[in-house]
């Protein structure tokens, strides 16, 4: 389908268009990319690429612009085969940056988002590890009022989730203390497996304290599940606005709305968890219409026990080479940092 020359014409065209944001003509391709043939020849190749749907002309006397399929062919044919991380100084910068950051999970991820957006000039998205796989290490109940308490859950990965509980009747400090130590002992293990069985066990018991324990346990499970909305953090929106495709506010609004809504963002990006390598989704390949004119480059980080997804979102006219390299380097380095 794509012979050697046609592929290099496409590659050159994408590179040029990404850099210039202008429809690309046959002349500049020959002049700047050493294709070893005349403009007329390139024109016939361009006509063929247009036939295949890889490029299009905004109007008849204009140069060509890559389509989503064109970018796809470019990524599959040019970027992915030469897969690599960031070059020396940038990679070094990433590693040094992590070395200088305090080791609290939330802070590390926040820094990660800032770094990714700085490296790429696109919006960075970081999905914190899900709580589902983590093991509960401690359950704390703190009484705030006669009928109110706060349940705080700490996992072995250092994640913390909390939730307020309202009881139907007053509870005593003693009761809470006993329930707390009971739950802490009982729930020491993987959340999904252990907690569910504990729930049925407690439900079978009777007495005031088992009611409190059941209530607290439900909230624990609930807040672990619902903490998902807060798992997404984004950064670098101002940088994104510098790109000409986002100079029209109408083009940016749906994207910003998506970014503000943690849950939607999560559904959009988190299926990357299933693929092992960096994933590139171009324009309409994205599941949501809001991302129809943007590309997402994402990868998972960490391991099965403690891992999430990082990625960048930018215009389809994206520097895929750099974006892929940055996401790969950052996710690898982050995995190392978390693993130790």
Residues that bind its own copies (CB under 8 A): 102-105, 137-138, 140, 142-144, 148, 150, 152, 154, 156-158, 160, 162-164, 166, 235-238, 241-242, 246-247, 249, 252-254, 256-257, 260
Tell me the sheet residues that pair with 299.
310
Residues 31-50 that bind DNA (CB under 7 A): 36-41, 43-44, 46-47, 50
CB of 133 to its own copies, least distance (A): 16
CB of 50 to DNA, least distance (A): 6
Whether the Cβ atoms of residue 94 and residue 330 lie closer than 8 Å to each other: yes
Structure tokens at 252: 């940016």
What separation, in Å, do the N-terminal and C-terminal C-alpha atoms of the chain show? Answer: 47
DSSP string for residues in 136-174: EEEEEEEEEETTEEEEEEEETTS-EEEEEEE-SS---HH
CB of 155 to its own copies, least distance (A): 9
Whether the Cβ atoms of residue 131 and residue 141 lie closer than 8 Å to each other: no
Tell me the sheet residues that pair with 125.
234, 311
* DSSP one-letter code for 79: I
Residue 137 interface partner, choices DNA, its own copies, none, CB cut-off 5-8 Å depending on type? its own copies
For residues 61 to 80, the per-residue mask of contacts with DNA, x marking binding by CB under 7 A and - elsewhere, is xxxx----------------
Residue 26 interface partner, choices DNA, its own copies, none, CB cut-off 5-8 Å depending on type? DNA
CB of 98 to DNA, least distance (A): 44
Whether the Cβ atoms of residue 233 and residue 264 lie closer than 8 Å to each other: no
CB of 46 to DNA, least distance (A): 5
CB of 163 to its own copies, least distance (A): 6
Structure tokens at 236: 């670098």
Select the span of 17-25, 92-100, 157-165, 234-242 touching DNA (CB under 7 A): 17-25
Structure tokens at 261: 């809504």
d(CA 330, CA 90) in angstroms, rounded, equals 10
Closer of 45 and 180 to its own copies (Cβ): 180
> Residues in the site for DNA, rule: CB under 7 A?
5, 22-28, 36-41, 43-44, 46-47, 50, 57, 59-64
């Amino acid at each position: 389908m794509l012979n050697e020359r046609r592929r290099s014409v496409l590659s050159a065209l994408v590179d040029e268009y990404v850099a210039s944001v202008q429809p690309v003509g046959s002349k500049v391709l020959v002049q700047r990319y050493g294709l070893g043939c005349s403009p007329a020849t390139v024109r016939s190749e361009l006509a063929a690429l247009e036939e295949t749907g890889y490029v299009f002309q905004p109007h008849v006397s204009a140069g060509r612009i890559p389509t989503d399929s064109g970018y796809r062919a470019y990524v599959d044919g040019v970027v992915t085969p030469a897969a690599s991380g960031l070059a020396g100084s940038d990679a070094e910068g990433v590693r040094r940056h992590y070395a200088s950051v305090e080791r609290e999970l939330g802070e590390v991820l926040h820094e990660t988002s800032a770094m990714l957006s700085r490296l790429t000039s696109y919006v960075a998205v970081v999905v914190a590890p899900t709580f589902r796989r983590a093991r509960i290490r401690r359950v704390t109940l703190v009484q705030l009022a006669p009928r109110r308490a706060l349940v705080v859950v700490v996992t072995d990965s250092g994640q913390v989730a909390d939730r307020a509980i309202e009881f139907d009747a007053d509870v005593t400090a003693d009761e809470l203390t006993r329930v707390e130590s009971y739950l802490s002992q009982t729930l020491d293990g993987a959340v999904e497996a252990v907690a569910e069985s504990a729930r049925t066990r407690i439900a079978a018991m009777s007495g005031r304290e088992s009611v409190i324990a059941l209530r607290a346990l439900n909230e624990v499970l609930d807040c672990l599940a619902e903490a998902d909305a807060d798992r997404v953090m984004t950064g670098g929106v101002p940088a994104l606005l510098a790109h000409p495709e986002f100079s029209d506010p109408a083009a940016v609004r749906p994207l910003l709305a998506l970014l503000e809504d943690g849950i939607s963002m999560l559904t959009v990006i988190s299926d990357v968890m299933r693929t092992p390598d960096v994933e590139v989704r171009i324009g309409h390949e994205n599941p949501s219409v809001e991302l129809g004119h943007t590309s997402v480059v994402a990868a998972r980080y960490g391991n099965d026990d403690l891992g999430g997804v990082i990625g960048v979102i930018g215009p389809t006219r994206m520097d895929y080479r750099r974006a892929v390299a940055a996401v790969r380097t950052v996710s690898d380095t982050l995995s190392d940092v978390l693993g130790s």
